[in-house]
Amino acid sequence: MQATMISYTAKITELLPNGKIIKLRGYTNGNDDYQKAKSPSGKTWTYFSNDEQISNWIEKGGWIGVRIPTGLYLVDVDDTQEGELLKELLEGENVNHHVIKTPNGLQFIFKGETDQTNKQGQYQKYVNRLGITQDTRAAEKGYIVFPTENTKGRHVIAQSMGELDELPHYLYKVWNGQKTPSPMSYPYETSGSRDGDFYDLSRRLLTCGVSKKDALESLQLAYEYFVPYKEDFPLSTIKEKVESASKKINEGKTEAANEIADFEIHVSGLSDNKVIPKPFIVQDGSLYSIKTVKDVEVKNFVSRHVPFLTKEFHNVERPQVLYEITWKQGHKTISEVVPASTIAVRKELLELSEKGFSVNDNNVKNLISFMDFYLLDNELKKYYAVERLGHIKDSFIHPSITKDIEIMAIDHGEKQILESLKMQGTSDTWKKEVFERIKQHPKAVFFVLSSFASVIIKDLRLQPFIVDLSGTTSQGKTTILKAAASVWGNEGLMSEWNATKVSIERKAAYLNSFPLLLDDTRKANDKILKDVVYQFSGGRSKGRGSLKGSQREYTWCNILLSTGEVSLNEYAKNQGGVAARIIPLIDEPLKKDHENIIQLHEAMENNYGAIGVAFLKVWLENKKDLITEYHKFRKFYVDKAKDNEVLNRLAGYYAAVHFTGSVLKNKMSFEIDLKAIADLFDDIASENKSTDKPMQFLDEILTDLDSSRQDIYYDYLPQVHKAIYKKGQLYLMPAYLTRFLGVEEKATRREWLKRGLTVGKQEKNSYVDYKPLKHKGKTYRVIPVNMDIVKEIGFDFEEVSGNEFLNQ
């Protein structure tokens, strides 16, 4: 019970920090009306003050609500299909947000701190700039029903790992949709009314005061994400619609030129050895500009903060310049590292207002001018910088061992990772207090060794792969994930699977060589799990377009350590490539020794990070000599895999982990039973059908046929023709295999034939797996199955014929 209470308050704190928890009626006291269930339980709002009250109310059938706290803003789309489309757009545009699924649609949570967002207010059924109808909840004005165990169809489906982004401008309200509905019919999967609808939306946006620039950007986003069918409807059509609508309503506005004032550049004074260029001056800690009007100098206020550029960084990986910008706020000095574009582009500089910097629509132009002139008159000290960890060109980046290179962490999520790579205790105390308590458990040892191995797989020329620890609840999976995290830092390195694909990509890219640790697959969407497995093992983020071209793709080369109640292989049974990228560890990693687990948790609280740094130093000093040893381990496991294609591909990955254990044992005096690690490979091969994908497919096909024998052609042609059974031989129909195996068909049939699971014949110097079969007066092309294998698996397709039945 306590765990449930904590989970609700903790989740509310994560999604809606400082949100007040409200007592909602729910289905208490005989209420069965959904609308009434969402209302407060009394005439006035009642707030919960502790977890016990929440739990007791939920047990009675009550619901809980949360008031939107200051600094946040919520958009509610009451159409599931449009909500899913908007979710795809936000993920594709890398907008950090949370998502809650409701019975009617989706709710999106953003940051709401700027004046532009706050001006949106709270409303119902307004059409936004994308043409989607939405409701909103403003800070301290609205509330939502928060997902609990008794709110059917309502749950959190995505949570941003980084700091939330401000409400995007394309979600600003435009007109009242109750009076004038949106002209759009998303998604446009056929040609339909695309042309007319986009023209109508363009005209309405411009009529309602949206600028041509913002209207065009919004419509281009709608085109990219909401129009699957783009034949005869190129992107250029969108601009034509906007131009045509603009002419129609005689929009005569022209956008103001963003020209930087032609100030005379010379030194006006000094401040802490920093040159302040004229016409700017610093007075009482604020920035002013001086303008001469009829020979009289007039002082104009610019900003209450003076932005000093203190360092210049050059990205090691790509041509990029960043600056450290510093300003005083009271008695504190605030420093932010930003790309060079931030101090040159109006929109990007305005985003620093979120950090407390005094920039707004009125002074942004002058601040850009000031910083441009400041760079001309001040020579900044130059530094090298990286924007992620691990292998970067010829260096390995870790905050404890990297010198002379600044590690950037611009996003909140990246800062959390960097702050988690800390050290407590020593490598010896970690071995004695943490590893000592798991060393007798091969699966736990293998999982933790994988955390070490993550930083060396790039040197071993391996692609990223996954080690998946699965089993029923309360078997120590999360404990062992925490042990794996303790190799490199504290538990802040761990995340839940309940995250968006984009956020997982970004975290994998920032960690780069360090392990990505994800807990509890049941909290993730099944589709996301399958997509992440493929995307992660490719080591490169999904290619995404932008309005100007293509977004930069992220890369990584590390190991994903995952836990869950169900093996990741089960989420993509019919995807052969998945099994070849996952090392599955099934069932309890630790014996149920309550006292030992408590001591293990205490040990991990006091010992983390130091052992990983010690291992890194050993590896970096000796890797040239050690890498040759790895190939012996790889050959050993390739020989063990024999002809199993999936195990053959896993052999290199498994060998890397075993090899890492050998390095730790021989170079760092670890007590590791390497024979138990080797034996575990055999257990994986025997326990997991997914590691023998061709046999798994054959087993599934025979199971399907066994359960639908009416589809097998014995004496009478079935309506759905899957197979023929004649004289003790089973023949599979090619069309059935095409439907069942999909894209895996050719590779699977080739592997079956190679391994003798089907009966082939030689034809013009090559083997084919099909033959003509005459049955009941017709000839069919069929694929004969090896009946010895069928019987070995445990199937018998012999059936008593009608004549035999009459003679019994």
Q: What is the pLDDT of residues 466-520, one digit of tens each?
A: 999 988 766 688 899 999 999 999 989 999 888 888 888 889 999 999 999 999 8
259, 661, 693, 744 from 584: Cα distances, Å:
60, 18, 14, 21
pLDDT of residue 498: 86
Q: Return the CA Rg of the chain.
A: 32
pLDDT confidence tier of residue 460, bands split at 50, 70 and 90: very high
Alpha-helical runs (H) found in 381-493:
412-420, 427-433, 442-453, 477-486
Half-sphere exposure of 292 (CA within 13 A, CB side): 6
Q: What is the pLDDT of residues 318-340, one digit of tens each?
A: 888 999 999 988 767 888 888 89
pLDDT of residue 266: 35
- Residues paired with 308 in a beta bridge: 326
- pLDDT average, residue stretch 776-795: 91
Spatial CB neighbours of 433, under 8 Å, sequence gap ≥ 6: 425, 603, 606, 607
- pLDDT average, residue stretch 327-355: 87
Which token pair is 329?
Answer: 């706020």
Do residues 194 and 443 touch, judged by C-beta distance below 8 A? no
pLDDT of residue 252: 44
Quick check: bond before 187 cis, omega within 30?
yes
- Of 732, 735, 727, the closest CA to residue 752 belongs to 732
Map residue 526 onto helix, strand or coil.
helix
Task: Select the more confidently predicted residue: 615 or 336.
Answer: 615
Which token pair is 205?
Answer: 């946006």
Q: What is the pLDDT of residues 11-62, one digit of tens each?
A: 888 889 989 999 999 999 888 888 899 998 887 788 887 778 888 899 899 9
Half-sphere exposure of 668 (CA within 13 A, CB side): 25
Q: Which residue has the tokens 């397709």?
A: 797
pLDDT of residue 542: 65
Helix (H) or strand (E) holding 616: helix 610-641
Spatial CB neighbours of 418, under 8 Å, sequence gap ≥ 6: 389, 399, 407, 409
- pLDDT average, residue stretch 87-107: 92
For 289-309, what is the HEC assignment? EEEEECCEEEEEEEECCCCEE
Amino acid symbol at 764:
K
pLDDT confidence tier of residue 256, bands split at 50, 70 and 90: very low
**CATH architecture of the domain with residue range 405-688:** 3-Layer(aba) Sandwich (3.40)
User: What's the chain's length in residues?
Assistant: 808
- pLDDT average, residue stretch 523-532: 79
Q: What is the pLDDT of residues 644-677, one digit of tens each?
A: 777 888 899 999 999 999 999 999 999 999 999 9
Helix (H) or strand (E) holding 381: strand 381-386
Half-sphere exposure of 605 (CA within 13 A, CB side): 6
Q: What is the pLDDT of residues 294-310, one digit of tens each?
A: 778 788 999 999 999 98
Does the CA dihedral 692-697-698-704 come out positive or negative?
positive
309, 697, 782, 799, 800 from 728: Cα distances, Å:
84, 22, 15, 10, 12
- pLDDT average, residue stretch 192-221: 92
- pLDDT average, residue stretch 180-186: 92
pTM of the entire predicted model? 0.58
Is it the case that residue 633 has pLDDT exceeding 80? yes
99, 479, 687 from 588: Cα distances, Å:
33, 11, 14
Work out the angle between the directed axes of helices 412-420 and 501-511 (0-180°, nearest 10): 40
pLDDT of residue 401: 86
pLDDT of residue 268: 38
